[in-house]
């Protein structure tokens, strides 16, 4: 029987980009993933698809699993010979009870490994523009729990010593006890005017930072209704926030942007939005699937030397074409002597993965731009192979034929509508909790609109952003008001157009 092992993994403070490479490597080996309340779904996605995923979250108001139960679960799964990834927010050994879990594993003879994570005690203040130490302001920092074990007879925190012992105090899990904490610090010598920051949802697009002093911060937090989880920073370094804040100054900070692209394509656009501070909300309204069989494509590949050009009009077209090329026992060498074209930079980049640099890339990344750029190439009488989607329009085919070219347009993948629609995301849309709806093709427009009634469409308050005029035209026909159209018809062009729109609005 395979010997089990437990990885106690620090998942970082919330932003999926702050998880370490080693954490991801260990997570990829897991048979079972036991994860906490603050671990994002983006991080869970790195676990093997077949891995068992068990939620063991604890929050201020609700415990799905008590600590003793979690300890027993870790032991049980490891004894079954499984590799267990125990995902904990922040760092396992910084007020994360990872020490207790490690003790339980050692007592039961279970092999374990600690994978440190970025603690929220440092990362959350950094995302708020507050360094926990700073030359001339703070040479020392203490990290303190604001929520001790309730079974303890008395507090082990020496507030009389801590109040003035270090320049900066960082308090985790202290939101509920904030009035008592501030009172203790003032009582034991910390000045009432000492700057304080309370940071909720640190490192996430929903981050909120409230500043005040020891004297007034509790009242401010109560008036705002700021709930846990929150990190509290106390000290002169808080004054640096106005100068050093960066995260909540990003151009799309906090904007909820609906991404309607297919799941396999959404990642790159999602990253572009996150880089600008946005909160991507995924609602794939199309699915990209291979064809069950494709005799026409197989025939075209077997007589590939018959063609002069292969014209790729999407990343999917590239990937599915080369998948089939490989299935037939061939590789890029089979295309020797042909000219290869790509409709845009993303498609060109997809070709690079197969060792191919496009011979032709239009200046304007549209069907019309593609054809216009070929007018000077003298393509009359030449044979083109177009591996495309099953629902692709005929603009390029018509244009090439007008130039005198011969065209074989062959579907290499199909675009379908998913059989599900996440109700929570749809409710966000209808409640007005989405700031922007993005459309990257006419099919994303029609498929989303088909899920809504005419009255629901009329109620939409989100701005509509389209990748180009053709998609925008489809949106207008369905009754939507288009607010944003990308000048460059790429994912980066669409993200830039959204950013420019809100910059003008500011």
Catalytic residue among 22, 58, 184, 239: 58
Q: How many CB atoms lie within 10 A of CB 54?
A: 16
Q: Which of 111, 118, 68, 110 is nearest to 88 (CA)?
A: 118
Whether 58 is catalytic is yes
* Residue 159 per-residue DSSP state: H
Catalytic residue among 88, 173, 435, 463: 173
Whether 173 is catalytic is yes
Residue 258's DSSP bridge partners are 281, 437
Contact 251, 276 (CB under 8 A): yes
Answer positive or negative: Cα dihedral of 322, 324, 327, 331.
Answer: negative
Residue 234 CA, distance from chain mean position: 31
The CA–CA distances, whole Å, from 233 to 191, 228, 367 equal 15, 14, 54
SS3 readout for 346-391:
HHHHHHHCCCCCCCECCCCCCHHHHHHHHHHHCCCCCEEEEEEECC
Q: What is the C-alpha to C-alpha distance for residues 310 and 291, in angstroms, rounded to an integer? A: 20
- First and final CA of the chain: distance in angstroms? 62
Whether 91 is catalytic is no
Catalytic residue among 15, 31, 36, 91: 36
Which residues are catalytically annotated? 36, 58, 173
């Amino acid at each position: 029987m395979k010997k089990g092992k437990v990885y106690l993994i620090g998942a970082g403070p919330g932003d999926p980009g702050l998880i370490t490479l080693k954490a991801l490597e260990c997570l990829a080996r897991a048979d079972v993933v036991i994860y906490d309340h603050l671990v994002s779904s983006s991080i869970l996605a790195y676990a093997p698809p077949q891995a068992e995923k068990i939620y063991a979250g604890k929050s201020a108001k609700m415990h799905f699993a008590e600590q003793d139960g979690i300890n027993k679960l870790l032991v049980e799964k490891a004894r079954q010979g499984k590799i267990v990834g125990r995902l904990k927010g922040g760092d396992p050994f910084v007020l994360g009870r990872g020490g207790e879990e490690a003790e339980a594993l050692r007592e039961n003879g279970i092999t374990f490994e600690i994978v440190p994570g970025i603690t929220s005690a440092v990362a959350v203040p950094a995302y708020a523009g507050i360094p926990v130490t700073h030359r001339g302001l703070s040479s020392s920092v203490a990290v303190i729990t604001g929520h001790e074990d309730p079974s303890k007879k008395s507090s082990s925190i020496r507030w009389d010593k801590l109040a003035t012992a270090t320049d900066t105090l960082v308090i985790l899990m202290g939101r509920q006890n904030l009035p008592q904490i501030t009172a203790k610090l003032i009582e034991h010598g910390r000045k009432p005017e000492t700057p304080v920051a309370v940071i909720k949802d640190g490192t996430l697009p929903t981050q909120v930072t409230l500043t005040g002093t020891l004297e007034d911060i509790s009242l401010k937090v109560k008036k705002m209704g700021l709930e846990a989880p929150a990190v509290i920073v106390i000290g002169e370094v808080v004054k640096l926030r106005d100068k050093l804040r960066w995260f909540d100054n990003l151009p799309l900070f906090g904007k909820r942007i609906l991404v309607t692209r297919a799941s396999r394509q959404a990642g790159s656009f999602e990253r572009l939005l996150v880089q600008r501070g946005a909160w991507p909300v995924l609602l794939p309204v199309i699915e990209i699937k291979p064809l069950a069989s494709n005799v026409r494509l197989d025939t075209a590949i077997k007589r590939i030397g018959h063609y002069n050009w292969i014209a790729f009009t999407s990343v999917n077209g590239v990937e599915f074409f080369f998948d089939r090329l490989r299935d037939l026992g061939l590789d890029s060498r089979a295309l020797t002597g042909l000219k290869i074209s790509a409709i845009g930079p993303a498609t060109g980049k997809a070709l690079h993965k197969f060792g191919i640099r496009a011979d032709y890339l239009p200046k304007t990344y549209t069907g019309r731009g593609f054809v216009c750029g070929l007018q000077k190439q003298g393509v009359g009488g030449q044979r083109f192979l177009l591996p495309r989607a099953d629902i692709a329009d005929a603009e390029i085919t018509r244009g090439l034929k007008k130039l005198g070219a011969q065209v074989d347009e062959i579907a290499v993948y199909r675009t379908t509508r998913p059989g599900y629609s996440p109700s929570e995301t749809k409710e966000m849309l209808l409640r007005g909790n989405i700031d922007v709806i993005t459309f990257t093709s006419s099919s994303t427009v029609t498929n989303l609109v088909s899920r809504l009634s005419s009255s629901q469409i009329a109620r939409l308050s989100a701005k509509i952003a389209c990748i180009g005029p053709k998609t925008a035209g489809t949106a207008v026909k369905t009754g939507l008001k288009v607010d944003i159209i990308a000048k460059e018809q790429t994912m980066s062009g669409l993200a830039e157009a959204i950013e420019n729109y809100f910059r003008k609005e500011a």
